[in-house]
Structure 1
Amino acid sequence: MRAGLLADELVPYLGPGAIGLETEPPVPATPEAVAAELHKRAPAPSKIRTSMWSVAQFIESRRHRRTLQAWMAEIFAAPVAPNRLHRFLAGLPLSMLVDTWYDGALATALREGGRTDVVEIQGVTRAGEFRDIWTKAYDAAGAEVAPEAADAAKTVLYAPHGGVRPAKNFLVADSDYVEVLTEIDIQSPIPAAVKHRRTPRGFVFLGCRFHDQMLRTYARQILKRSKGPHYAVVDRERLTRNELKFLADHDIVAIDLPLGAVTDLLVG
């Protein structure tokens, strides 16, 4: 894995578990924790209480989209300091990184490393949009740029579910994903730069779980048509049957070690 990362043959794919590598993060580090934070603000029915996507939809339906966005921005307002994994990855000449959580620590690590050759592509909600738009792109300073800017960037940071910075983009409610999931099989929501850069590479899943269909669907579509090999750092005892099947179906090699131990080996 280390050799593959150093050679730009693997794409790091970070989940929320990556932010808790060194210290307790100041923001939620699981979808269930986000659901709990949203539930505090608007109590949801017990049958959906642990589902981030369903609780978010409950709030959007009863309080308005602006309220949901404001609460998500509040929940993720505290800056998350990059850890040694973020800093290690930010220092590599990688063509692409994927960050599936909302905190932005990896983007911060890239900025702190002086990287000006990075374009971040974030998934955006289509709520209130009348354009055929799935993503927005930002330069290293956080200014919005044309999607084509990603083609010339040394590194593309792909945040498929959005991010709290620079523009508070959040895909989080069930309704956010209705059109995405309708078209994701034909890859329309996947940016062209991502499709191009993944083709000759494999993926390394770090701090990820796949215990929800939404998480599996996104991972499956992002790694589609990529060359491989693929690896996932996991706690095998905690994996559900669906997670084990997902790993097997996509030839993902399970590395059954703590993320901290793997990070030590990668960083060297």
Structure 2
Amino acid sequence: MNKLIEKIKEEIKNQTTIPYLGIGIFKNVKTKEGEQIPYDFDSLILKMNNNRPMSPRLMYEFSRAAMHLEQRRGYEYIQQLTNFIYTKSFEPTKLHKEIINLNPKYIIDTNRDLKFQEILSNTPYTLIVGKARILNNDYRFEIYKWEVKTKKYIKSTQEELKNATKILFKPMGSPLPNPSFIVSDADYVDWFTEAMGGFAVPSFLKKYRKSKKYLFLGTNFSTDTDRMMANELTLDLEGGYYVKESPLTKKEENFLKKHNLTHIPISLEEFNKYFIEAL
């Protein structure tokens, strides 16, 4: 196991493997007030619904539950609620720090928190934030450059992205520079529709990602949302690694086979231990 993880870390350093993070990385991570950060669909739904479970039909997938809340309380309510959940302060995890230490050019973070943005606050980088339900615009992202001196985001372009030395892609949104999130079914339907038309990923990244591998951490390919998102964001991949304890579901097995992914059959906690300690 150590040799495999050392190999993965070396691939991240030399830019052949791209870190791809999902909600599962927050298991056992608490805010400074002692609240558990959502780490799967169930915990996110409970957090959005005042810790009250919803019907089994809605608990199946959090975007469906969010759509139910949006229909009752409005779009702005869901956006503000998501912002409230993901701006709670917490210490950077060792995994976040180690990934930054490896200095990858490109990170995909499908979470909605600010931790990578906070860690990179003294580093020039380009931020890509996913968007949904934008009027008069096919593209489902906005691009910003982080200016270290002023500590501000400056609107950028696809042309300027070619010169970026570091890229953080947050396809499901972020609290900064402006709170905007892809959360409900309506958001996802809009995003996936435009993604399949080629409008959810900047042109430069479509070229850059060719023949890359990915390290999938905290994702769950048993869920339709995670599979569809990964499929759209990693087109033309060469393969990669999927960290999850056995056994895999049939949906996971099929996805791994289709995308030539190596299954690393240990818990994320155990993987993190090896990953942080490996040279």
TM bracket (short chain): 0.7 to 0.9
Letter in 2 for 1:185: M
CA distance in structure 2 between the aligned counterparts of 1:41 and 1:70, rounded to whole angstroms: 17
Counterpart in the other structure of 1:247: 256
Look up the SS of the partner of 1:181 in the other structure.
helix
Letter in 2 for 1:123: G
Structure 1 residue ranges (4+ consecutive) displaced by more than 6 angstroms after TM superposition: none
Letter in 2 for 1:8: Q
Counterpart in the other structure of 1:120: 127
Counterpart in the other structure of 1:166: 177
CA distance in structure 1 between the aligned counterparts of 2:270 and 2:217, rounded to whole angstroms: 12
Counterpart in the other structure of 1:105: 115
Counterpart in the other structure of 2:163: 152
Counterpart in the other structure of 1:89: 99
Structure 1 unpaired stretches of 5+: none
Look up the SS of the partner of 1:230 in the other structure.
strand
Counterpart in the other structure of 1:195: 206
Counterpart in the other structure of 1:49: 59
Structure 2 unpaired stretches of 5+: 1-7
Look up the SS of the partner of 1:143 in the other structure.
strand
Counterpart in the other structure of 2:14: 7
Distance 1:144 1:260, change over 3 A: same
Root-mean-square deviation over aligned CA pairs: 2.2
Look up the SS of the partner of 2:50 in the other structure.
helix
Letter in 2 for 1:14: L
Letter in 2 for 1:138: Y
Counterpart in the other structure of 1:234: 244
* Cα distance per residue 1:128-155 (max 9 Å; x no partner): x333331112333452412333222111
- Give 1:7 deviation, angstroms: 1.3
Counterpart in the other structure of 2:4: none
Distance 1:8 1:130, change over 3 A: same
1:178 and 2:189 aligned: yes
1:260 and 2:266 aligned: no
> CA contact under 8 A between 1:124 and 1:162: conserved in structure 2?
yes
Number of residue-to-residue matches in the alignment: 261
CA distance in structure 2 between the aligned counterparts of 1:167 and 1:155, rounded to whole angstroms: 21
Look up the SS of the partner of 1:40 in the other structure.
coil
1:134 aligned to which of 126, 131, 140? 140
> CA contact under 8 A between 1:121 and 1:158: conserved in structure 2?
yes
Look up the SS of the partner of 1:139 in the other structure.
strand
Letter in 1 for 2:231: R
CA distance in structure 1 between the aligned counterparts of 2:52 and 2:176, rounded to whole angstroms: 24
- Give 1:32 deviation, angstroms: 2.1
Counterpart in the other structure of 1:80: 90
TM-score, structure 1 as length reference = 0.88
CA distance in structure 2 between the aligned counterparts of 1:81 and 1:167, rounded to whole angstroms: 22
- Give 1:263 deviation, angstroms: 2.9
CA distance in structure 1 between the aligned counterparts of 2:154 and 2:179, rounded to whole angstroms: 13
1:68 and 2:78 aligned: yes
CA distance in structure 2 between the aligned counterparts of 1:256 and 1:222, rounded to whole angstroms: 23
> CA contact under 8 A between 1:123 and 1:136: conserved in structure 2?
yes
CA distance in structure 2 between the aligned counterparts of 1:241 and 1:89, rounded to whole angstroms: 30
- Give 1:189 deviation, angstroms: 1.4
Distance 1:243 1:200, change over 3 A: closer
Distance 1:195 1:62, change over 3 A: same
> CA contact under 8 A between 2:132 and 2:191: conserved in structure 1?
no
CA distance in structure 2 between the aligned counterparts of 1:184 and 1:131, rounded to whole angstroms: 13
Distance 1:51 1:229, change over 3 A: closer
CA distance in structure 1 between the aligned counterparts of 2:16 and 2:106, rounded to whole angstroms: 10
TM-score, structure 2 as length reference = 0.85
CA distance in structure 1 between the aligned counterparts of 2:269 and 2:65, rounded to whole angstroms: 31
Moved more, 35-44 or 62-71: 35-44
* Cα distance per residue 1:24-46 (max 9 Å; x no partner): 45421222212112223898555
Letter in 1 for 2:13: L
